Amino acid sequence: MILLVSTIYNNRRIKDDSQTHDHYEAFESLAEAKERYDELINLDDTRSASICSIIESTDYDLEELDLINQFHTFEWENRNFGDWFKAKGYSQEEIDAIAYGEKEAS
């Protein structure tokens, strides 16, 4: 589970930091959370937004939670990794080969 935590202004026309409320939404995937995050940061009444991972919980087994967090960290890093290589002109096949150690980046 991934959480999206945000602080919203009570009145979007008067952006007073003392007049806000906190909000959270839960997502099953990082991609869903990122999509909603991108929507939130473009709204006038959003003061802040953060994508968060669960560190400790009464709802999850700690070993399961650790595996989930490792997966989401890899998913996030791999996305950035792929975007960087795409910007450098690498094909998706080349990016996959680099990610799996089958090719050296040149």
**Residues sharing a CB contact under 8 Å with residue 80, sequence separation 6 or more, in sequence order:** none
For 22, the token pair is 């906190």
Cα–Cα distance for residue pair 86/80, rounded to 1 Å: 10
Its pTM stands at 0.59
Same domain for 67 and 46: no
In 1-106, alpha helices (H)? 30-40, 62-87, 92-99
Q: What is the pLDDT of residues 10-20, one digit of tens each?
A: 887 888 888 99
Cα–Cα distance for residue pair 84/9, rounded to 1 Å: 34
pLDDT of residue 38: 92
pLDDT of residue 104: 66
Number of domains, the chain: 2
Between residues 37 and 29, the one the model is more confident about: 37
Q: What is the pLDDT of residues 75-106, one digit of tens each?
A: 666 666 667 677 778 888 887 776 666 766 66
Same domain for 27 and 64: no
Range of the domain at 81: 57-106
Q: Report, as an integer, the average pLDDT of 54-69.
A: 72
pLDDT of residue 23: 93
User: Which residues on neighbouring strands pair with residue 2, listed in sequence order?
Assistant: 27, 53
